[in-house]
Amino acid sequence: MLHAALYGDEDQAVILTYAWDRLLIDPVPGPRGPDNFTGLEPMTPAVWAVPAEAHPIAPAGSTLPRLAAELPHAFALIDPHHGAKGITRQLEELVSHLSPASIDLLDVGGDILARGDEPTLKSPLADAVTLAACCQVNAPIRLLVAGPGLDGELPPDDLRGTLGPLVRTLTAKDVEAISSVLEWHPSEATGMLAATARGVRGTCEMRDAGLPVPLTDEGPTAHEVDLDDALSRNQLARAIMATTTLDEVEAHSREVCGYSEIDYERNKAAWLKEQPPVKLDPETVLSQLAQFEAEARSRGVTHTTFRRITEALNLNGSLREDLRQLLISSRPEQYAAPLWCIPAEA
């Protein structure tokens, strides 16, 4: 979406990204590496492209092959299992192989600017290790933060003073490039970014914890941030610059932040395995939804994500799409794509 807004539709981008879809899509904790896929294509010795024909090896799951099928860009896999040094190597090989006209490091939400001790911070690891790697690459890299605060990690007020110049305010037209993807992809932060670009305003509840995120005029903005300034703020990124394994990165995260988000996923995955299967009964679901909406409304919530509803109703992540289809067909007037609108009155 941002590539189309900044550079137009003519040139394709190579998007180097994680296969880390969290437990809603991938029941295996942590990020996936090349060994977790079939059908990957080598781009460089350390970088593997993820084509539409690729498949995650069960029980792992990944949205990347479908993204590759539906979007015009090339997708390649960030592999954090060799630490920040491994990602640095991946980036340097890509720069040498592609000779790119520009390199943008994009974070939606802004938690890449976290110090590491913020009480609202939940998932600093992926951002920190990517930042640590980018700061060691011998090439100009521009750091962009889109949708300040939309990932529910850092309040917009905390981010405001750290953001650099405005690069773009996304519009409904910019969203058109990915509108079909938003119909199925579970990314909450990207969904809220697109919704604010379409003009949605209010308070959105997200994640299993029900984090409230304000949907304001700041939502669809993208800002440039000085890479060195970000590194000077991010204690975890500074601590892991010389790491060569994901275990090392996790150990530093426990020291700096007090936890590893992969530990959280391990604990949650173990808990989920013990839960009895729940079927999607429309009558029961709609009754439970009414209660959830009433409680959310009392908290001042105007919108929520389908991931949040899925988890609030204690449904298995594999039922998220069925749930979404049921709700949209039952109450299409409440679908504020790709979010669900909580009506002001029951």
pLDDT surpasses 90 at 126: yes
**Residue pair 16/78 in contact by the 8 Å Cβ criterion:** yes
How far is residue 333's CA from residue 328's CA, in Å, rounded to a whole number? 8
Question: Cα–Cα distances in Å, from 333 out to 172, 189, 196, 300?
Answer: 19, 22, 18, 20
Determine which helix (DSSP H) or strand (DSSP E) holds 9, and give its type and residue range.
Answer: none
How many percent of the chain have pLDDT more than 70?
100
Res 235: pLDDT = 98
| Buried b / exposed e along 49-59 (16+ C-beta atoms within 10 A) | bbeeebebeee
CA dist 47 to 34, 104, 138, 312, Å?
9, 18, 17, 38
- The yes-or-no verdict on residue 329 having pLDDT over 90 is yes
Q: What is the mean pLDDT of residues 309-334?
A: 92
Q: What is the pLDDT of residue 341?
A: 97
d(CA 196, CA 204): 11
DSSP 57: P
Give the C-alpha separation, 46 to 260, whole Å: 26
**pLDDT-derived band at 246, boundaries 50, 70, 90:** very high
Mean pLDDT of all residues in the chain? 95
CA dihedral in degrees (96, 42, 243, 262; nearest 10)? 140
- The pLDDT tens digits of the residues spanning 57-72 come to 999 999 999 999 999 9
Q: How far apart are CA 206 and CA 301, in angstroms?
A: 10
Task: Determine the pLDDT at residue 22.
Answer: 86
Q: Domain map of the chain by residue range? A: 2-170+220-239, 282-341
Distance separating alpha carbons of residues 165 and 221, to the nearest angstrom: 10
- Residue 346 has what pLDDT? 57
Transcribe 252-311 into DSSP letters: HHHHHTSS-HHHHHHHHHHHHHHSPP----HHHHHHHHHHHHHHHHHTT--EE-HHHHHH
Confidence of residue 268 (pLDDT cuts 50, 70, 90): very high
Strand, coil or helix: 4: helix
